[in-house]
A and B are shown apart, each in its own frame.
Chain A
């Protein structure tokens, strides 16, 4: 319904979206029509832009909606469960494996993971398999972002902006700046969007406890519930040692091979930029996740029995803060969603144009950029249609996709470390991991085979065994450029 408060909220949100579009427009003015510039920003990102691009792209609806929701359901241990190990291992991977990925991109001019594996193992269709698998795991993630935008806009405006319109406007804004500015458009807008949602979270992290009487009072109210069950891991089923360990590995390994992050490792303007980003990344995680988790945790006592636990953060903002703050809250939530959507969709279109069109058809560079833009429009259209049809919840979709990505970690990373590996090793690992995780999902493999861990662990261990066996059953062809890679990685981590 139309009210003054709704108009204030929508006004602030509209200003935010216009600023994002303006940044995208500015980025497009310095982006040429060359393939390297449109798809890779000419490999020119400095530390600030790369950190923002990697961080904002990775911090999806999971941090703004999922993290407070998880803390609301399971307590303050949500931080350690989801991101503590990731925030250490992911930067370690960037500094070591990412270093090699960056070098390969720079030396051979590769843009996508598919091009790297095809070249490294002298394969023709391995890249195509990667595109297919990445698409399977990324499309649901894109839908999650569109869903989140539609749901949030409808909820906060009390139905004034219906789900279909909220999802459409958000997608349209992202589509315009990605279409115009390509990788540079996403990098620059991510820098702004990352700053918006970090400032928003820090502001409400200080403001909301003050409304509750202080940090001590806010925590004490939760501590008094069921003898302090929400203060620790005991008695919370997902936080048992085996699932705790599994989840940490799934998130750390899965996030590293997200295609939208993998491609961005190669956009760094130097190795020093990658190294700087690695050191700063955990600090960004601490700054964002600590408020997100504690806000959800404090919400347990203030708003018990929420029907949809994912809505604890918008509920707290709406109930405890003035109307203009709700406008900024909406902008902050949209910032997190849009800064992930852009990278995911640009990456999917890049993979289709590079690994399918360029690989199998004769095209010019300009035609390729044109195809990338066509794919962008098609993917945005499909994402919108999917968001109108899907019934899945945000957390369910995200958690399953994490496992899928994580099972692509080993088959891809061995390209940079194992001289003896072959394309058959990679094929076997990818297919084994994919089939294995779906077999558990559909109940074709009994849950007892997980031994209490998440299904990822037994599939991952068996995947390594399968890859080792296949490696020693096959031989490296003379045509594989192993020597070039060895020379490139000499004296490199």
Chain B
């Protein structure tokens, strides 16, 4: 079950997926990009740390959209019967 999943890095696609998730976890540690003691204000009012965190999440949306496009189609036997 794990071997057939996206979490098992045995194809270029799954390797890329696991690598991106790992990279995002590392990038969340903002000390690696020198923000630990930054007093920079983005646009003159937004502290660099929160600007970085918001940008981190917007990049995450891009990653999720790529996943959205790459995800396999669900089995047709489990489609909805009605919608609220």
Q: A85-B28, A272-B74, A278-B68 are in contact. Are A45 and B61 (CB under 8 A)?
A: no
Residues on A with C-beta less than 8 A from B25 are 85, 89, 248
Q: In the bound complex, do residue B72 and residue A418 qualify as a contact, i.e. CB atoms below 8 Å apart?
A: no
Q: In the bound complex, do residue A416 and residue B1 qualify as a contact, i.e. CB atoms below 8 Å apart?
A: yes
Q: In the bound complex, do residue B41 and residue A219 qualify as a contact, i.e. CB atoms below 8 Å apart?
A: yes
Residues on B with C-beta less than 8 A from A290 are 50, 54
Query: In the complex, A91 Cα to B71 Cα: how many Å?
Result: 13
Residues on B with C-beta less than 8 A from A278 are 64, 67-68
Q: In the bound complex, do residue A241 and residue B31 qualify as a contact, i.e. CB atoms below 8 Å apart?
A: yes
Asked if A231 is an interface residue, CB under 8 A from chain B, the answer is yes
* Bitwise interface map of B from 1 to 32 toward A, beta carbon under 8 Å scored 1, else 0: 11011110000000000000100110011110
Asked if A84 is an interface residue, CB under 8 A from chain B, the answer is yes
Q: In the bound complex, do residue A107 and residue B78 qualify as a contact, i.e. CB atoms below 8 Å apart?
A: yes
Q: Which residues of A contact B (CB under 8 A)?
A: 41-46, 49, 75-77, 79-80, 84-85, 87-89, 91-92, 95-96, 99, 103, 106-107, 184, 187-188, 214-216, 218-220, 223, 228, 231-235, 241, 244-245, 248, 269-272, 275-276, 278-279, 282-283, 285-286, 290, 293-294, 297, 416-419, 485-486, 489-493
Q: In the bound complex, do residue B29 and residue A187 qualify as a contact, i.e. CB atoms below 8 Å apart?
A: no
Beyond A219-B44, A232-B37, 19 additional pairs, beta carbon < 8 A: A43-B80, A49-B84, A76-B49, A77-B50, A79-B49, A88-B28, A88-B64, A92-B64, A231-B49, A245-B28, A270-B79, A278-B67, A279-B61, A282-B64, A285-B57, A416-B1, A417-B2, A418-B1, A419-B1
Q: A92-B21, A279-B68, A489-B4 are in contact. Are A80 and B61 (CB under 8 A)?
A: no
Q: In the bound complex, do residue A88 and residue B57 qualify as a contact, i.e. CB atoms below 8 Å apart?
A: yes
Q: A106-B78, A282-B57 are in contact. Are A493 and B72 (CB under 8 A)?
A: yes
Complex partner residue of B50 from A96, A241, A293, CB under 8 angstroms? A293
Q: In the bound complex, do residue A96 and residue B57 qualify as a contact, i.e. CB atoms below 8 Å apart?
A: no
CB A72 to nearest CB in B, in angstroms, measures 14
Please, which residue of chain B has its CB at the minimum distance from the CB of A492?
B72
Q: In the bound complex, do residue A92 and residue B78 qualify as a contact, i.e. CB atoms below 8 Å apart?
A: no
Q: A77-B49, A282-B57, A285-B57 are in contact. Are A232 and B35 (CB under 8 A)?
A: yes
Query: In the complex, A130 Cα to B5 Cα: how many Å?
Result: 26
Residues on B with C-beta less than 8 A from A493 are 5-6, 71-72
Q: A233-B36, A269-B80 are in contact. Are A84 and B47 (CB under 8 A)?
A: no
Query: In the complex, A416 Cα to B8 Cα: how many Å?
Result: 13
Residues on A with C-beta less than 8 A from B71 are 95, 99, 271, 275, 493
Q: In the bound complex, do residue B39 and residue A223 qualify as a contact, i.e. CB atoms below 8 Å apart?
A: yes
Q: Which residues of B contact A (CB under 8 A)?
A: 1-2, 4-7, 21, 24-25, 28-31, 35-39, 41, 43-50, 52-54, 56-58, 60-61, 63-65, 67-68, 71-72, 74-75, 78-84
Q: In the bound complex, do residue B67 and residue A92 qualify as a contact, i.e. CB atoms below 8 Å apart?
A: yes
Residues on A with C-beta less than 8 A from B4 are 489-492
CB B19 to nearest CB in A, in angstroms, measures 13
Q: A241-B31, A417-B7, A492-B72 are in contact. Are A485 and B50 (CB under 8 A)?
A: no
Query: In the complex, A218 Cα to B79 Cα: how many Å?
Result: 51
Please, which residue of chain B has its CB at the minimum distance from the CB of A298?
B45
Query: In the complex, A333 Cα to B38 Cα: how many Å?
Result: 33
Q: A49-B84, A92-B67, A493-B71 are in contact. Are A233 and B5 (CB under 8 A)?
A: no
CB A119 to nearest CB in B, in angstroms, measures 15
CB B14 to nearest CB in A, in angstroms, measures 9
Q: In the bound complex, do residue B50 and residue A270 qualify as a contact, i.e. CB atoms below 8 Å apart?
A: no
Residues on B with C-beta less than 8 A from A99 are 71, 74
Query: Could you show 20 A-B contacts with beta carbons less than 8 Å apart?
Result: A41-B84, A80-B56, A84-B56, A84-B57, A88-B63, A103-B78, A214-B45, A215-B44, A216-B45, A219-B45, A219-B46, A233-B35, A248-B25, A270-B78, A271-B74, A278-B67, A290-B54, A418-B1, A485-B1, A492-B74
